[in-house]
Structure 1
Amino acid sequence: MNGVGGPTGVGERALGPDLARGFMLLFIALANSHYFVGGARWFGGFPVDGNVLDRGAGFLISTFVDGRAFPMFGVLFGYGVAQIVRRQRESGREWWPIRKLLWRRSLVLVVVGFAHAMLLYVGDILGAYGVLLFLGVWALRWKDIWLFIVAGLVWVLTALPSDDSFSTMTEGPDPAMLPPELLGQFADRLGAHSIIALLGWIGFVAPFLIGLWAGRRRILERPAEHQTLLRTTALVGLTIAILGALPVSLVVGGIIKQPANDTLSYLGPLHDATGLFGGFGYAALIVLIARRLTRGRFTTAIAAVGQRSMTCYLAQSVVWTIVFTPYLLGLSNTLTTTTTALLAIATWLATVGLAEWMRRKGYRGPFESMIRRLTYRTKKPKTALVV
């Protein structure tokens, strides 16, 4: 289906959003993989008993990646929903059928997320996205001011100091991430995934709503019309994100000592809250860069990853499962922060190659094909005419 109201055709897609999704999957790989690394002491999701290289890698990831990549995907998720709504409205569909279409999409995300969490990576976010979309359809007709008000209120609530920050910042890998045997992992992961899916969506509300607003104005598709906004967002957003990350990343890097417990109740929420601005900043920066790029070989390949982001995201989890699961390779206590970061980069590059191969062969990602067939109730196409 490639007509009005259907999925967006390849030729119609703007480079910026696809390039942003594709490149940010590198950051997603770096953000997810270090949580598997073993050690004697942890802080902020990193073992802090490694060598200088490990502490340096932890500092860089904590400053520029952790809590900064996922908000950007929240923005792009909301932006994509706005695109779907616009195409549906242009085709003459009323609001109720559009809501039902998006609810079908949310159900697919919930089901795929559940399978992903049980079989591969318990830290799955697709289920949370599905719950967010199921509830978020009621925001589709909100006025812009209400999108900003609700986004601001939710952001303030998630930024409040938390007594749980001490335990969450000093804990090692979750046992559900490293199950000692296959059958036992399902019981452990069921509870963990339920919490993430049913509560984790709250952290994506603010970027999702701002993404809806940006999608209404096609800001990422038409950067020439919004250069001042994009440049300001990139500069201010990334500055806030970096400064807000430093209290945690300086400890991770071994530059300063771990503060007292009562101080930690502020540092975790500060790190995450300022990460929202980093998500905005990265999205704006990549779109601005994309505007000056030609569709060369490497650029096209990264954009192909963005067009197949769900498939590539799930492919990363296959690697983490094989490499870190104790009953498989079990390298959690062998790899370090540095070598795990190199593994993450290599995994991302492998997905770039895979996505480019699929693009040249005219294949969509299998999960992109599935979600579109179930969302739009179309038959399986023979070629990748739409993504």
Structure 2
Amino acid sequence: MRPTIRETALRRRHLTASLLVLLLVCAPLVGCSLGADQSGLDIPGFNPGATGSSDQANAQAALEYLSPDGEISDGRWVPGEMTTERWEALTDRDWGPAGLEELTAAMATVSTMRTDQDEQTAAKATWTVARSIEFAVDQVPIKDYTDAMKQNLAILLANCPDEIAGLASGGSLEGSSVYGLSGLVTDAQFETALYRIIDDEHAADTLVTAMLSYHHDQIDAEMPTATSPEATLLGLYQSAAQTMGYLDGIAELRADEAASDTINTDDMNRVLRAQGYVDAAKYGLLNEATIEAAVTGNNGGPFSFYDEVDGQPTITAPNPMTPDAAHEYIRWDQLVEDATMDDLDVEINTGHSLGYTSGHAAEVVR
């Protein structure tokens, strides 16, 4: 028996009322879903295309969406009720590619605020980054990672340089509060996030570039006041190489299942060696014959990186150093016998080997 017009109208009215109730429940949480996700989140005031920019308003919009309330307690961010509900809604959502890409773009943008001068903002952003890593690893199967999602998460992880360098040197995010993310994510969660994205070439480039910059910033900060300049420089370059080796080890681990290894070991070590020679010259650690070779060693003339500033010999470098540019510095090294250059080569090779071993043994959930 077919339903009457009155019965049909009543059913439609009931469906409309039910839908209205569901919409009202979902309204405070933009991430709430009525079913399979076919679109983005439409986060108020957030532009997913500005992920890598320094737009504070964009980052603030993403932060307010992912962590709408909470407070600092003992230096750590404690989420409030609205934030807890927001993440419960995000966890329960039936995700599709568009939504995940916008969500990870928001996560990446928030990560840029980890070093904000405002203590509350920095703590809030760090907690959100930890929750984002946990979400990406525990809630999204590796098969659902799109290239855009991997590149967004690479930005997020690149804004965790202390944690990457710490794990590379044998440290842990579990236990003592050495790092910002200590106690907020496990080593396995962090390393799994690295593992799942590093097969994307752009993601790998983001991580390598960020970590090279991080380590060189450390060199620039420590060398001017170092009481033992040569030992300090050698130690810092071993640390940098250890981080690069760690990423290389994880990339090769991933390459066992992916199409190719996204990190070229030879290129990376060549860049470190070349930059190391530049820094050794900058801090007066190379001998006179080595500097003279920079002036005359290029078929009787100077290498392109040689210059004189205020009458003083100066070894210049592109920023950033590239594998192609590094070849010329390696040619320079091959012309001379310089103990500091040789020691840099040894420390870089040692560091890479140590880091590679750690990376290849990373705790990952495939």
Same fold (TM over 0.5): no
TM-score, structure 1 normalization: 0.22
Structure number with the bigger relative contact order (C-alpha 8 A, sep ≥ 6) is: 1
